[in-house]
Amino acid sequence: MENCMDRYLGQLLDNRYEILEVIGSGGMAVVYKALCHRLNRYVAVKVLKDEFANDNEFREHFRAESQAVAMLSHPNIVAVYDFSRDSNCQYIVMELLEGITLKQYMQKKGALSWKEALHFATQIARALDHAHGKGIVHRDIKPQNIMVVKDGSIKVADFGIAHLQTESSAETLETMGSIHYISPEQAHGDTVDARADIYSLGVVMYEMLTGRLPYEGETVEAIAVQHLSQLLTLPGDINSEIPVAFENIILRAMATDINSRYQSADELLSDLEAFRKSQASISSDSVVDDGMQLADDGEPSLFGRLFGTKELVRGESYKSRKARTRRVSTFSGFALITIFLIAVLSFLWNFWIKDIFIDSERIEIPSFVGEDSEETINSKAYEDTFNFYVKYAIDPNTPEGQIISQKPAAGRSIALSEDGIDIELTVSTGIMMTTMPDMVNHEYREATIALEKLGFVVEVETVASDTITEGYVVSTAPAANEQAAAGSTVFISVSGGPELKQVTMPDLMGKSRDTAVSKLNALSIDVGSISEVKSDLPKGTVLWQSIDGGESVAEHTVIYLKVSKGPEESPTPDVSTAPSAVPSASAETGV
């Protein structure tokens, strides 16, 4: 093994990445520190081991996954800069981080405080929310794949590798390192979606707060069965310092029934943020020494019962705690309905009923759209009638200072009160100009991400070039150092090599996402972003392609796709049962 790990040391991969030292190794790959000679920076290069790199089908999947993951750009995701084009060596080039894995961190510290666990969990959820929005599911969220950087931030790694590892071990479930975090649907062998990542994150939160895994066993099969059927030991029964509200978040994330789980990372983030705010509120108010707020009569308030920093009743059963949660949910539901009705009545009173019962002069709202905001606001004709409130918006198509929209809308008749009529005006800031950076000779995905961060819309075309390496930017329009309007389109020309081979764009409409990507990869057509839109067609069905089928295009032309989110599913009762037998799994730990 040592010789296999050392054989790339000193080599220059693709005439660019100088391999310097081994910094990690796992079941699937070896990670090296390398120097990128083109950009003069240190990077991490993850090289797949021969048994995977020599598999043609795996190589093709690897390339597709690498391209997709390279489009992710988020502060909590390890950035992927490049991937191999050399069939003799399959690798991914990533940002080099200074830190340790979350697993190593927990091994050093034991159970984490709820504040630290919340800090880490929120960042992981943000990373998942970004990736899921791009149609990418990790499928192997575990502390070994999460980096704790020196500044305390979190970076989720191995999106592409995780997907490939799942495919490569389809008959063996997962590796021993992953089985502790696997979702019930993965253990059952079912198709997975983003909710599998949410379950795995729930397990990670459980481990952070308790210092131990929720399910243990001597074999992979034994652990898998527990994920499917075993009653979970409550985190609060292990660590009484865990706030009940945080415990409830973990329990929902780890729900065996996929429809009872958080349905998106964004939904989980909302609850984590609400919990954070509730704890901040508790800290700022008077609290008793057990962390529970008191009502005026000395009894714990509802707020304290929901968000107390110590468990309310020790030793109560899981069933009784669920009953308590249902009671709180019912009370909260009534409270929300009451607030909603009050808001509706208030709205009707202010905008309709009041005008019927109160006899006052009525004013028809004029149109302010298209007028100069300064002249309108300072007009003597309006000063005794209207109270103007201004907000601003970037609109390259509207001159600076011109009114874009108004509330209430023009033509509406409103009763004039003593205080006047409030009018909200949205005013254009005009065209905000940005200096174009020099993107020539930059890898085109890096260039695309950088330009999108500046607010540009990017369109890519492939051209022949004798001087620029394939996959790198030949020119941009506008050119470097020219001024361009924020929100405008930037065209980048990418080298396809000295000669461009023409291929025919396939008709992808109605095809599945995987089939479409496979067809494009076979023709060396690069896949850009794939967005999901509402449709009654099955999930993943291609609804739109940026280049029509039948057109002649150059190899490595970038195409963008839109696929169906799938029809909305009505909730179904949980009739799942544990399988009579669970497939055996490899005990090898993967990277």
Token pair, residue 504, equals: 């025919």
Coil, strand or helix: which one is 431? coil
Bridge pairing between strands 413-415 and 362-364: antiparallel
Where do we find the tokens 């575990």?
Answer: 142
pLDDT of 321: 52
Mean pLDDT of the chain: 77
pLDDT of 272: 94
Query: Could you read off the pLDDT of 454-488 as tens digits, one per residue?
Result: 778 788 888 888 888 888 999 988 888 887 766 67
* Whether residue 473 sits in one domain with residue 415: no
* Whether residue 261 sits in one domain with residue 171: yes
Angle CA 343–347–350, to nearest 5: 135
Kindly write down the DSSP assignment for every residue of 413-426, as one continuous string. Answer: EEE--TT-EEEEEE
pLDDT of 579: 43
Share of the chain above pLDDT 70, in %: 73
Q: Is residue 330 a part of any domain in this protein? A: yes
Q: Is residue 591 a part of any domain in this protein? A: no
* Whether residue 334 sits in one domain with residue 261: no
Q: Is residue 581 a part of any domain in this protein? A: no
Domain count, the chain: 5
Average pLDDT over residues 33-41: 86
pLDDT of 576: 46
Coil, strand or helix: which one is 165? helix
* Whether residue 320 sits in one domain with residue 193: no
Q: Is residue 71 a part of any domain in this protein? A: yes
Give the model's confidence band at 580: pLDDT under 50 very low, under 70 low, under 90 confident, else very high: very low
* Whether residue 405 sits in one domain with residue 335: no
* Whether residue 424 sits in one domain with residue 439: no
* Whether residue 87 sits in one domain with residue 204: no
* Whether residue 117 sits in one domain with residue 250: yes
Q: Is residue 504 a part of any domain in this protein? A: yes
* Virtual torsion, Cα 567, 568, 571, 574, nearest 10 deg: 40
* Whether residue 394 sits in one domain with residue 276: no
CATH of the domain at 247: 1.10.510.10
Give catalytic status of residue 574 as yes or no. Answer: no
* Whether residue 269 sits in one domain with residue 170: yes
Q: Rounded to 5 degrees, what are φ and ψ at 403?
A: -75, 125
Side-chain half-sphere exposure of 19, counting CA atoms within 13 A: 21
Higher pLDDT, 571 or 308: 571
Angle CA 479–482–485, to nearest 5: 105
The answer for residues whose C-beta is within 8 angstroms of residue 467's C-beta and 6 or more apart is: none
For residues 177-199, b (16+ Cβ closer than 10 Å) or e, as one string?
bbbbbbbbbbbbeeebbbbbbbb
- From 71-80, 143-152, 161-170, 525-534, the region with the lowest mean pLDDT: 161-170
Candidates 14, 50, 129, 140; catalytic one: 140
Range of the domain at 404: 362-428
pLDDT of 206: 94
CATH of the domain at 410: 3.30.10.20
91 and 145 in contact (C-beta within 8 Å)?
Answer: no
Higher pLDDT, 572 or 459: 459
Q: Would you give the DSSP letter of residue 352?
A: I
CATH of the domain at 48: 3.30.200.20
Q: Is residue 571 a part of any domain in this protein? A: no
pLDDT of 528: 75
* H-assigned helices in 242-368: 244-253, 265-284, 302-307, 318-348, 354-357
pLDDT of 5: 65
d(CA 463, CA 554): 8
Most confidently modeled range among 82-86, 90-94, 389-393, 529-533: 90-94
pLDDT of 452: 80
Tell me: pLDDT of 591 over 50: no
Give the model's confidence band at 275: pLDDT under 50 very low, under 70 low, under 90 confident, else very high: very high
406 and 390 in contact (C-beta within 8 Å)?
Answer: no
The rounded radius of gyration (Å) of the Cα atoms in the chain is 29
Token pair, residue 232, equals: 């979970």
d(CA 401, CA 394): 11
Q: Is residue 586 a part of any domain in this protein? A: no
Most confidently modeled range among 128-132, 159-163, 282-286: 128-132
Q: Is residue 112 a part of any domain in this protein? A: yes
* Whether residue 468 sits in one domain with residue 398: no
d(CA 124, CA 319): 30
Query: Could you read off the pLDDT of 542-552 as tens digits, one per residue?
Result: 999 988 899 88
Quick count: other Cβ atoms within 10 Å of Cβ 331? Answer: 12
pLDDT of 267: 94
Distance of CA 481 to the CA centre of its chain: 33
Give the model's confidence band at 249: pLDDT under 50 very low, under 70 low, under 90 confident, else very high: very high
pLDDT of 247: 93
pLDDT of 175: 41
* Virtual torsion, Cα 200, 206, 207, 213, nearest 10 deg: -80
Bin 64: left if φ > 0, else alpha if -120 < ψ < 50, else beta: alpha
Query: Could you read off the pLDDT of 70-81 as tens digits, one per residue?
Result: 777 888 998 888
- From 56-65, 142-151, 186-195, 505-514, the region with the lowest mean pLDDT: 56-65
559 and 520 in contact (C-beta within 8 Å)?
Answer: yes
The answer for residues whose C-beta is within 8 angstroms of residue 171's C-beta and 6 or more apart is: 583
Q: Tell me the pTM.
A: 0.49
Tell me: pLDDT of 38 over 60: yes
* Whether residue 127 sits in one domain with residue 157: yes
- From 119-123, 313-317, 571-575, the region with the lowest mean pLDDT: 313-317
Domain final residue, candidates 65, 95, 125: 95
pLDDT of 586: 35
Maximum Cα–Cα distance across the chain: 92
Give the model's confidence band at 293: pLDDT under 50 very low, under 70 low, under 90 confident, else very high: very low
